Amino acid sequence: MSGSQRAARFEILDRQDFSDVTYSLVIRHPRMAKAARPGQFVIVMLHEYGERIPLTIADFDRYAGTVTLVIQAVGKTTKEMQQTCKAGSFLHALVGPMGVPSSLTGRRKVICVGGGLGVAPIFPQARGFKENGAYVIGVLGFRTRRLIFWQDKFEACCDELILCTDDGSAGIKGFVSDGVKRAIDRHRDVDEVVAIGPPVMMRACAETTRPHAIKTVVSLNPIMVDGTGMCGGCRVRVGDAVKFACVDGPDFDGHQVDFHDLMMRLGRYAGQEKTAVQRWSENCRMKEADLAAELLEAADPFDEVLGG
């Protein structure tokens, strides 16, 4: 057994694939499941040489002692996890829960908006608002019908659910900001909108609610390194202040966030990220080629049986 296998401690109990790029992992971690609150995230290391990546706790079950992550394979680490994380395998490290939990009490009517992968992290908040007695309107957006996931989980905790698809193959044709408009038109007494998804989507939601002066909370996803407020990597501009998303957020006032700055910072390492994923996939192809060569060179295990 290698060192990394010996150190592995966080067992993956279940995996589901929602699409070619999106998958969920259910991980055994009773203490994390007990401590987790909606809005928090973890830092994950796949193996001892892996990079540390932040992922939102998309669900937790205190009785089963599990946490659920929903991941989109966008680059080296998330693709490597997609390839290697299976039920019965282990994560090297899972640190958290991190970040300030979302504030869920004292609201009478809220709209919870999730776009694409953002649908997963908005789920614990929608459920938390419901548990605290709010009337919850869910607005979920996907590019197309076949990418929809967790609709049943939202139906169970939302009083109303507005599904939006870019191509109109399910629900209303349009973006989540159209869904938010529709919800606001129907309900003039919304206390708060919470939106999670790509920065452009969160910005569009914040601009939709601004003229109505409805408090709008967004969950920011800047590049994080340590997740403890030490490195400054996750710096974001909110109004006149500079905040660290890992310790001051990730939830912030969407009407105050400088989305342009966030998007600029997110794209800063695009060159290195491209190189990392290229190197990793070349390495995978080389390993596959080595394995194929080994198999060709190896004696045919059926030779004896067949008398060759």
Ligand X SMILES: Cc1cc2nc3c(=O)[nH]c(=O)nc-3n(C[C@H](O)[C@H](O)[C@H](O)COP(=O)(O)OP(=O)(O)OC[C@H]3O[C@@H](n4cnc5c(N)ncnc54)[C@H](O)[C@@H]3O)c2cc1C
Residue 135 identity: Y
Among 224, 238, 262, 277, binds ligand FES (CB under 6 A): 224
Residue ranges in 110-139 that form contacts with ligand X under rule CB under 6 A? 117, 120-121
Q: Which is nearer to ligand FES, 230 or 292 (CB)?
A: 230
Q: Residue count at the site for ligand X (CB under 6 A)? A: 25
221: which 2 tokens? 């996803």
Residue ranges in 46-65 that form contacts with ligand X under rule CB under 6 A? 53-56, 58
Residue 114, SS3 per DSSP: strand
* Least Å from the CB of residue 15 to ligand X: 14
Select the residue whose beta carbon is closest to ligand X and give its number: 75
* Least Å from the CB of residue 245 to ligand FES: 6
DSSP-derived secondary structure for 162-183: EEEETTSSSSEES-HHHHHHHH
Q: Residue count at the site for ligand FES (CB under 6 A)? A: 12
Any contact of residue 77 with ligand X (CB under 6 A)? yes
Contacts of 246 (CB under 8 A, 6+ apart): 54, 98, 99, 224, 226, 227, 228, 229, 234
Report the half-sphere exposure of 67 (CA within 13 A, side-chain side): 27
Contacts of 9 (CB under 8 A, 6+ apart): 90, 91, 92, 93
**For the chain, how many helices (H) and strands (E)?**
11, 17
Any contact of residue 100 with ligand FES (CB under 6 A)? no
Q: Which is nearer to ligand FES, 88 or 229 (CB)?
A: 229
CA gap 124, 53 in Å, rounded? 20
Span interacting with ligand X, options 128-136, 204-212, 216-224, 256-264, rule CB under 6 A: 216-224
Any contact of residue 232 with ligand FES (CB under 6 A)? yes
The dihedral region occupied by 150, where left means phi > 0, alpha psi between -120 and 50, and beta the remainder, is left
Only one residue has tokens 């998330």, namely 78
Any contact of residue 90 with ligand X (CB under 6 A)? no
- Residue 229's binding partner out of ligand X, ligand FES, none, with CB under 5 to 8 Å set by partner kind: ligand FES
Residue ranges in 143-162 that form contacts with ligand FES under rule CB under 6 A? none
- Residue 138's binding partner out of ligand X, ligand FES, none, with CB under 5 to 8 Å set by partner kind: none
Residue numbers at the binding site for ligand FES (CB under 6 A): 224-227, 229-234, 244, 246
